[in-house]
Amino acid sequence: MRWDDLFSDLEAQLSAAQDAQFQADVSDLTRSERASIELAERLLTARGQSVALTLRDGEMVRGVVVDAAVQWLLLEAGGPQTLVPMRAVALVSGLPPRTSHVTEVERRLGIGHALRALARDRARVIVDFGVGEVTGLIAIVGADYVEVSTSVGAMSAVPIDAIMRVRSAMS
């Protein structure tokens, strides 16, 4: 009978509309989830992998991701390691397609923590501040600056916001 065909057709239309709504909901949820992902989460997933950074001053930095936190990234390029503040990064290439979540510890580890570790280790560093650089030991990490001991008694203060990268200096 034609009624059976009519109801079958209506059921098929309803099923197709429900499938379309489900797909739209999944797409919305996927976009919403992706919108909450921070760059640090993508970089944390890239640990052990090579990435290329373009810094805000136009310089390129390539290396393997050793560690990352919300405010900084540590790279190794087969030699000295480079600490890069996240706010100095303009472009990242080579990220893996997946992501991992930032832990509360990684969220709290600010750039000051990393700089204080370098000061504690008495590591000789090159602090690049975009228009120049200073080489020496980090003597003091203040609230918004670092003081670099360039020679006996000579100190240079660099605002943390000016730092583009901090590299290990060969002694």
The full set of domain ranges for the chain reads 1-36, 39-168
On the question of pLDDT at 1 being above 70, the answer is no
Per residue in 61-113, pLDDT (tens digit) is: 999 999 888 899 999 987 789 999 999 999 999 998 877 777 787 778 899 99
Question: Which range, of 8-17, 44-53, 161-170, averages the lowest pLDDT?
Answer: 8-17
Q: Could you tell me the pLDDT band of residue 31, with boundaries at 50, 70 and 90?
A: low
- On average, the pLDDT of the chain sits at 86
- Integer CA distances (angstroms), 117 to 22, 90, 113, 114, 138, in order: 50, 25, 6, 5, 10
- The pLDDT > 70 percentage for the chain reads 89
Q: Is residue 65 helix, strand or coil?
A: strand
Q: What is the DSSP string of 107-150?
A: HH--HHHHHHHHHHTT-EEEEE-SS-EEEEEEEEE-SSEEEEEE
Q: What is the pLDDT of residue 52?
A: 96
The residue among 52 and 14 whose pLDDT is bigger is: 52
Contact 135, 169 (CB under 8 A): yes
- The pLDDT > 90 percentage for the chain reads 53
CATH class of 39-168: mainly beta
Count of C-beta atoms within a 10 Å radius of residue 9:
10
- Integer CA distances (angstroms), 5 to 1, 10, 17, in order: 7, 9, 18
Tell me the pTM. Answer: 0.76
